[in-house]
Structure 1
Amino acid sequence: MADLKLGSKGDAVARLQALLCLAGLDAKPVDGDFGRGTKAAVVACQAANGLTPTGIADEITQATIGMDGEDKTLTPDPVIANVDEVVVRNIFPNATSAWNIHTHLPHVLAALKGADMDDRDLVLMALGTIRAESEGFEPIDEGKSKYNTSPDGPPFGLYDPGTNIGKNLGNLYPGDGEKFKGRGFIQLTGRSNYRRIGEALGIGNTLEEDPDRANEPELAAKILAAFLDNKRRMIKYAILGRDLAQARKLVNGGSHGLDRFEETFRKGEVLLAKKDDDDWLTG
């Protein structure tokens, strides 16, 4: 195992951070970036285990926290067979109707399964993301807010070219902010994301040419799965380290809806564990 130290980046660092967190040491955020917080956690780990506190996670330090063992994030924990309307109704208390769950849940589960994401953490990540973005369990348009529209500006003008946000979203022309506003279960936002996800789904520039299609339920579910799939390794490590805030940030870029996301994820864990035990959820 290569040494990990200040400036190191990548999956190995994220796994190190997650395992340090599991050992009761604060290495958050679990983001794959070895910064000063991670170094402090490594120093604490080394001191607690009689090792020289260098702050460099060498082979011995890594073995001490289990990095020489199986990486459990690589072994899926299938749960889709146990995710039904009853489970989802219990974790979506503000769903506008049971019809939404009945109609859209099959698309979401099919998309996750099709992306080889039948795994407890990834399924709960998807459900938590939907609740954070659309409590009604339906694909929706992003609403105007102070985060996307200035008081005297055009709708979603803060996403237009000429702004830092618009530049980061790959928007090119005036009006792109509104044209490529958030849509779907995951609030896909920005011209570059519409293009990238369309290419990932094998539908070319369909989404870029007709962005409203991101709200079509079956396609919205596939977009959700594709977006999460692109970040699955880092999501899995963040969840392993119980850093749900970082898992949310990997999707949203911030903390919008974090309280709903965390509540959904944790309640879902409990419900699925009980369902595994005795299939108590019926009707």
Structure 2
Amino acid sequence: MRLKLVYGDQGPDVTALQQALLAAGFNPGVIDGDFGTGTFNAVSAFQQAKGLLADGIAGPRTLHALGLAESADLPDATGDMSVQVASLMLPGAPLANIKTHLPVILASLRAFEIPDRTMALMAIATIRAETAGCAPISEGISAFNTSPTGHPFDLYDHRSDLGNQGPPDGALFKGRGFVQLTGRSNYRRYGPRLPTPADLVKKPELANTASVAADLLSLFLADRELQIKDAILHGNFQAARRLVNGGLHGWEQFETSFKRGDMAMPR
């Protein structure tokens, strides 16, 4: 059984897919080994019922859910995210930063089981929008986080939506890392979920450690994987950016970076 069946495919693997869909209660129409509109719609409906990405493609997760594949693991595309591809996606980033941090980022994507092409592109495009230079950094002072006459990050101090409880939370839990993790609640939520659990509330500066920053990026993306993929599937890069940033800061750089990588990365 091939691990990816798409519209237009033909043969015994498609027949097996059609039979499995029919047995699951999703009628693809004539069982003819031809992946046409009926099969596409049945696959999409099955995916919606099972909480999978409804893209009409019978990939590992769909085939596994239908009992046609032993593993639901996604194809590992991290080997195709080369330094050259990342450099195209991160214009202006020092090459030394890419060479140093890209392997750490890709290893983290594999560890959190999101090593597929879309998520690899998403990770690097997110870094382009968040930190640009492919290095974990702390958020700088700006009009978005600091009032004209206030102390640094005073506009974050009382952001209850971020779990902040007043000064000095704004400065303590400012954005850090590759994904610019922000707010007391996020530091509290993600620290225990790291491969080596850490108390990021007590030691927020750990979020700028390369390995921790990579794992926080992967965790953040993994939590939103299906929503991200659905947004990308429909070409809605603003929605994909909002899922990570909460707003549209850097979305144009994000979209440009993703599309550059999509063109350069092998399919």
Q: TM-score, normalised by structure 1?
A: 0.69
Counterparts of 1:123-142 in structure 2, within 5 Å, are 123-142=120-139
Q: 1:82 aligns with which of 80, 83, 95?
A: 80
Match of 1:160 among 157, 162, 167: 157
Q: How many angstroms apart in 2 are the aligned matches of 1:263 and 1:237?
A: 18
User: Quick one: percent identity of the two aligned structures?
Assistant: 43
Which one of 236, 240, 258 corresponds to residue 251 of structure 2? 258
Where does structure 1 lack aligned partners over 5 or more consecutive residues?
1-62, 277-283
Find 1:68's aligned residue among 45, 48, 54: 45
Pairwise CA distance, 1:110: 0.5
Task: Please list, as runs of the form range in 1=range in 2, the aligned pairs for 1:78-157 lying within 5 A after superposition.
Answer: 78-95=76-93, 97-157=94-154
CA distance in 2, matches of 1:100, 1:225: 18
Q: What is the number of equivalent residue pairs in this alignment?
A: 207
Q: What letter matches 2:150 in structure 1?
A: G
> Which of the pair has the greater relative contact order for Cα pairs under 8 Å at 6+ separation?
1
Q: Is residue 2:214 matched to residue 1:237? A: no
1:89 alignment partner AA: S
Superposed displacement of residue 69, structure 1 = 5.8
Q: C-alpha displacement at 1:68, in angstroms? A: 2.8
Quote the offset at 1:174 in angstroms: 1.3
Alpha carbons of 1:101 and 1:205: their partners in 2 closer, same or farther (altered >3 Å)? Answer: closer
CA distance in 1, matches of 2:75, 2:194: 25
What are the superposed Cα offsets for residues 166-207 of structure 1, whole Å, 9 maximum, x if unpaired? 110101241100000000000000000001011222555521
Q: Distance in 1 between matches of 2:196 and 2:170?
A: 22
Separation in 2 of the partners of 1:203 and 1:191? Answer: 19
Change (3 A) 1:219 1:204: closer
CA contact (8 A) 1:195 1:205 kept: no
Corresponding residue number in structure 1 for 2:260: 267
1:236, CA displacement in angstroms?
1.2
Q: What are the superposed Cα offsets for residues 129-165 of structure 1, whole Å, 9 maximum, x if unpaired? A: 000011111111101111100001110000002xxxx
Deviation per CA, 1:22-42: give whole Å up to 9, x if none: xxxxxxxxxxxxxxxxxxxxx
Q: Which one-letter code corresponds to 1:111 in the other structure?
A: S
User: Aligned equivalents of 2:246 and 2:102: distance in 1?
Assistant: 25
Q: Are the equivalent residues in 2 in contact too, given 1:144–1:155 (CA < 8 A)?
A: yes
Q: Describe the superposition over 1:208-264 as per-residue Cα deviations: whole angstroms up to 9, x where unpaired.
A: 111011000011000000011111111111111111110100000111011110011
**Partner residue, 2:214:** 221
Q: Which amino acid aligns with 1:176?
A: D
The answer to whether residue 173 in structure 2 is matched with residue 180 in structure 1 is yes
In the alignment, residue 140 of structure 1 is paired with which amino acid? I
Task: Answer whether contact 1:195 1:204 (CA < 8 A) is retained.
Answer: no
Shift of 1:65: 9.4
Q: What CA distance in whole angstroms lies between the structure 1 residues aligned with 2:249 and 2:264?
A: 24
In the other structure, the counterpart of 2:164 is 171
Q: Is the 8 A contact 2:76 2:110 kept in 1?
A: no
Superposition RMSD on alpha carbons, in Å? Answer: 1.9
